[in-house]
Structure 1
Amino acid sequence: MSSPHQGRHETGQNFLCDRSVIAAIVEIVAGTEGPIVEIGAGDGALTLPLQRLGRPLTAVEVDRRRAVRLARRTTAATRIVDADILRYRLPRTPHVVVGNLPFHLTTAILRHLLHFPGWTDAVLLVQWEVARRRAGVGGATMMTAQWWPWFEFSLARKVSAAAFRPRPTVDGGLLTIRRRTDPLVDPRDRRRFQALVHDVFTGRGHGVGHIVGRRLPRATARQWLRDNGIRPAALPRDLTAAQWAALFTAYRTTG
């Protein structure tokens, strides 16, 4: 039988064991509302403290042995589900997602989550560099930009590799995602917006002024740059959510 903090190499799991980090996660979740869905419950390091919030809790765990053991330690109000989160259908009603994600599955799980309409907030422990990039620190990734009109990404804190067992080779980062109550772009235009972001990120040119100028009338492109205070030499990663939304508006009016 595996020990409580033995990592599952087949799922790339590093278990959280730092009580101060656990307390910080629970504190953030406490500031949200609604039922909670936990990803990768493991041996309950987060599950048991989350129970104390007194809210409906569903803990999803891919390792059946761990799920069975955890079910013996949780209250009747907590539901333990033996499932792969990448195949699990999240509720369509409002809820909060929380979890310590297997580092090698972070992007796949994020993409899975972002396509589901129900959840309002996500509190996720991921690799430090991934957390920084998703939050737009030092420049946003294409993935962040493609979802920015509908979600706010924030970096809560850095988490030392020493907070996990077994210890990973990189530090972690606590990433929070909140669904915008007032989207910057109509959800019905999501595919068109995301295609535009992809085209700009992968387009050829010396800065967004040149790249966008190949897709919009030059006068429109210059107006967009001027109205949004963007340097022509800026890179796609330098744009803000509002600037992307303004670009899409300009694109729609000329498309």
Structure 2
Amino acid sequence: MTALVATTPGPIVELGAGGGALTRALARLDRPLTAVELDPRRAAALRRELGGTATVVQADVLRWPLPREPFVLVGNVPFHLTTAILRRILDADRWRSAILLTQWEVARRRCGVGGASMLTVQSAPWYRFTLDRRVPARAFRPVPSVDGGVFRIDRRPEPLARTPERRAYRAWVGDVFQGPGRGLVQVLGRTSRPITAGAARRMLRDRGIAADTPPSRLTTDDWLELWGLARGRA
């Protein structure tokens, strides 16, 4: 994870420093480092140990105000807070890259391996998700019941969709993932921005997509093509 962070520029913010295993390695990069930890005892211990090499903040990562200048996010994300932390990150501005460790299956889904999650699809026009590696459970202390996975998120230099449309796009993707209907054509016709059956069939045929393809299997380009149709109907 430190090697991945080293490929990025700027200050570093670590979410959930814990006992400092990652914090110590990040401090050796000799870049401005802020480590956020909820537990006051752990935060105090890290502050004493690291001294002037890192700024240790005792705070809840879901509420702590993120820096205003560009920065890099890194963290061994608590498994039970993965979705909440990811939503917080993806709604935030100014950070350039995020290097994260989560459950292996979560990492795979976030990066579209075996099908993308709804959260990833909602964010893909503005971010790139890249799977790095699997981390065996035995590498953790205490040992969890599942393996971990390292992946990175990079903000796209040029968004694939207009940023003012982000909220509408996310809501529409949610409609498609959770909407009623048998097959994509029916589902796409029953969203808040419906696509006519004829237009949906033509688009699916032109892109070689079977009508029974689940939303999680569509590519980012597929979603953007559909969004163009949906936006035209609004």
TM-score higher than 0.5: yes
Deviation sequence 1:119-174 (CA, Å, 0-9, x none): 11111111111111111111111111111111111211111111111111111111
Residue 25 (structure 2) aligns with: 49
How do residues 105-144 of structure 1 correspond to structure 2 at under 5 angstroms?
Answer: 105-144=81-120
Equivalent pair of 1:36/1:95 in contact (CA under 8 Å): yes
Of Structure 1 and Structure 2, the greater helix share is in: 2
TM-score by length of 1: 0.86
TM-score by length of 2: 0.94
Residue 102 (structure 1) aligns with: 78
Residue 146 (structure 2) aligns with: 170
Deviation sequence 1:12-32 (CA, Å, 0-9, x none): xxxxxxxxxxxxx11111111
Separation in structure 2 between the aligned mates of residue 105 and residue 39 of structure 1, nearest angstrom: 11
Separation in structure 2 between the aligned mates of residue 67 and residue 222 of structure 1, nearest angstrom: 56
Cα-Cα RMSD: 1.4
Gaps of 5+ in 2: none
Q: Give the CA deviation at 1:254.
A: 2.1
Gaps of 5+ in 1: 1-24
Q: Give the CA deviation at 1:75.
A: 4.2
Counterpart of 1:165 in 2: which secondary structure?
coil
How do residues 14-29 of structure 1 correspond to structure 2 at under 5 angstroms?
Answer: 25-29=1-5
How do residues 30-41 of structure 1 correspond to structure 2 at under 5 angstroms?
Answer: 30-41=6-17
Separation in structure 2 between the aligned mates of residue 93 and residue 206 of structure 1, nearest angstrom: 47
Equivalent pair of 1:154/1:177 in contact (CA under 8 Å): yes
Residue 82 (structure 1) aligns with: 58
Separation in structure 2 between the aligned mates of residue 154 and residue 68 of structure 1, nearest angstrom: 34
Residue 200 (structure 2) pairs with residue 221 (structure 1): yes
Counterpart of 1:158 in 2: which secondary structure?
strand
Deviation sequence 1:191-228 (CA, Å, 0-9, x none): 11011111111122232233224421233212322343
Separation in structure 2 between the aligned mates of residue 97 and residue 224 of structure 1, nearest angstrom: 38
What amino acid is the match of 2:205?
R
Residue 210 (structure 1) aligns with: 186
Counterpart of 1:156 in 2: which secondary structure?
strand
What amino acid is the match of 1:223?
R
Identity across the alignment (%)? 52
Separation in structure 1 between the aligned mates of residue 5 and residue 203 of structure 2, nearest angstrom: 38
Deviates more, 1:164-173 or 1:69-78: 69-78
Equivalent pair of 1:51/1:57 in contact (CA under 8 Å): yes
Deviation sequence 1:89-141 (CA, Å, 0-9, x none): 11132111001111111111111111111111111111111111111111111
Residue correspondences, number: 231
Q: Give the CA deviation at 1:237.
A: 0.7
